[in-house]
Chain A
Amino acid sequence: MPLANFLSAVRELILDTDTFADNLDDRVADYTTRFPALSPEEIQDLAKITPDRLKIYTSTIFHGEKSTLLNHFACSFACLAKYWEEAYRRKFSEVGLVRALHRRYPWETNQTITLANNYVRYVAEALTEIQNVCPWIVDLTNLELLSLITKREHSDVEARDSLQEDELLQLTVEEILSLKAQIPEYVHFEQFSYDVIEVIRSFHQKSSIDTVPTTKNPVSAICGRNQKLYPRWAKTDIRLHDWLRDRRQKAQIDIEELADFFLNSIADPADSEEEVFILFLRTLTSFINAGILVISRT
């Protein structure tokens, strides 16, 4: 189909062409070589377009992709900006990064999540030098990706459907242990090699990269979304993380069963029963507040 060849040539000129010949005849010669499937008339049509007009599209496309990525990966972009020069001995360009990303992993769907996945993959597979300077960057992009997914996931239950912290604290121990909980569909479980939860918390408070991990420090974390439907991460003991992850498909979790596991596997045997229960309640309320557990009121 000739139209397909023509549109394909337009795509190549807009997305993948850095330099254009200045005059029409040179562009005709260049395009004739590059686009052999086009007719002479079609080559003339394309060559008549002055490169500065085509470059408007190149600019709006890559600035648009940069804005989309910055919305969801603000913290890792700030890290790239901070450490880029040290890693690559040249200035960081957000748009330059997006162009390079597009070259390596073209955006093949009309969905933002594909672009987001491409970015995370690009950082992990192509930006190896910066990983020497900023080894937590891959964990950080994964965290931001999971936050995005969690934020947008469909779910039949939400944090606000749960018994809330103030209601929980008015119950007796027996009443608390008789409760049932559910893990909503949006919840994600992840283990990071570095404590990037603290990097992102600090970034949200200060809008700059101040707190960075100095050593590997594996962290197990769970991402839910709070009553306002914003993603929230809770760091947790690996054993509790895995126990909950293994039960995520269950329709209901008995709080008593969770408390038993907490008491027998996580609590410090030296602690009193009261201290253990207070610690358990603190963990439980952090899960409720982050929308990781939704506790039925009945």
Chain B
Amino acid sequence: MGNYSLSALGGGIGLRHAYFREIIEKKPACNWFEIISEDFMDYGGRERESLREIGKHYPIIGHGVCLSIGSTDPLDMEFLHRLKAFLHEIKSPWASDHLCFTMVDHTNLNDLIPLPFTREAVTNCVERLKIIQDTLELPFLIENVTRYVTLSDREMGEAEFLSTILEEADCGLLLDVTNVYLNGQFHGYDPLAFISSLPLKRVGQIHLAGWEPASDGTIIDSHDAPVPDVVWDLFRETIALTGPTSVLIERDKGLPPLSDLLKEATQADQIMHASCKDNKVHAAG
């Protein structure tokens, strides 16, 4: 058992359509897969059937992008009930989504827009997270997002904002180590100090990803490259603080052969196990 009373599944990868056939036919060794729930939940046909087949052999965890936790539009309860039915159908042991807003004024922004770090935004998120958790009846994790802007930090900083919501809503943290690293670069802070300041007992899952700078040099959290060494280093230090958990290699674009992603998942496993072994030696010493 890992943190936040969730199973520590070790390294896993994001399940993408391009890998369905190979996974179904070859059943490669992989601890678990994460899916984007909205890519499957309302559909029948090939996607849903492939998911059903893969779910017979591997744990599947549902990760969302549409709950718009920080929005001021009313929570879409009908969507939430459909999501619940889907997550229970695939036997997802927990669920997650991002601490951000994606819809406002009933308009879909189709991206994870960060929130202003204000008391009002905290209260709004906490109220909505309680409803979400009560409705889904599953442990629920919120993910820290990459943010290219700071909308407001007059009242508090990001770490305080995130920590307060985690405590007041009593939910878990999906700690995206890459996002922390990139935000550290964008906003000039020490990523490890940021991570250390969070309530790490609430970490139920970790995300790792890589990026390719755009042609104009802009860095975007594009999930289109292997996890870079700087993020592996930060992960090594993070896992020593959190203890064992479930670690996902995210890749959405420039998909490599499946075996490449599985190698990265194995690397995450090895780092996690080495860290836990070291911790035991230190504890015994």
Contacts and interface: CB of A to CB of B under 8 A. Distances in A.
A57 B114 CA distance: 11
A64 B46 contact: no
Contact of A155 (B42, B44, B106, B149): B44
Nearest to A6: B116
Contact of A108 (B107, B118, B120): B107
Contacts, number: 108
Contact of B46 (A6, A109, A151, A154): A151
B104 A8 contact: yes
Contacts of B120: 1-3
A153 B44 contact: yes
Interface stretch (A38-46, A80-88, A274-282): A38-46
Interface residues of A, number: 43
Interface stretch (B23-31, B131-139, B150-158, B236-244): B150-158
A7 B148 contact: no
A3 B72 contact: yes
Contacts of B44: 152-155, 186
A24 interface: no
Interface in B24-55: 38, 42-49
B101 interface: yes
Interface in A41-68: 41-42, 45-46, 48-49, 53-54, 56-57, 60-61, 64-65
A57 B110 CA distance: 10
Contacts of A225: 45
Interface string A239-270: 00000000000000000000000000000000
A28 to B, nearest CB: 15
Given A3-B72, A15-B109, A45 B116 contact: yes
A108 B121 CA distance: 23
B220 A107 contact: no
A46 B38 CA distance: 31
Interface in B93-107: 101-107
B189 interface: no
A56 B124 CA distance: 26
A153 B44 CA distance: 5
B167 interface: no
B79 to A, nearest CB: 7
A56 B111 CA distance: 11
Given A45-B154, A151-B45, A11 B110 contact: no
A50 to B, nearest CB: 8
B259 interface: no
B220 A56 contact: yes
A45 B151 contact: yes
A14 B113 contact: yes
Interface string A14-35: 1100000000000000000000
Of B72, B102, B110, most A-chain CB atoms within 10 Å: B110
Nearest to A156: B44
A160 to B, nearest CB: 10
B149 A230 contact: no
A46 B116 CA distance: 10
A61 B107 contact: no
B108 interface: yes
Given A3-B124, A7-B71, A108-B108, A49 B151 contact: yes
Interface in A89-134: 106-111, 114-115
A10 interface: yes
A61 B46 contact: no
A46 B218 contact: no
Contacts of A115: 108
Contacts of A45: 116, 151-152, 154
Contact of A152 (B43, B71, B154): B43
Given A53-B148, A114-B108, 7 more contacts: A4-B104, A8-B104, A11-B105, A49-B150, A60-B111, A65-B110, A154-B43
Interface of B: 38, 42-49, 66, 68, 70-72, 76, 79, 101-111, 113, 116, 118, 120-121, 124, 148-152, 154, 218, 220
26 contacts: A3-B72, A3-B124, A6-B116, A7-B71, A7-B72, A7-B104, A11-B104, A42-B152, A49-B149, A49-B150, A56-B148, A57-B148, A64-B110, A108-B106, A110-B38, A110-B102, A110-B103, A110-B108, A111-B42, A114-B108, A152-B42, A152-B43, A153-B44, A155-B44, A229-B46, A229-B49
Those 6 A-B pairs whose CB atoms lie nearest each other, nearest first:
A154-B44, A229-B46, A4-B72, A110-B66, A152-B43, A107-B108
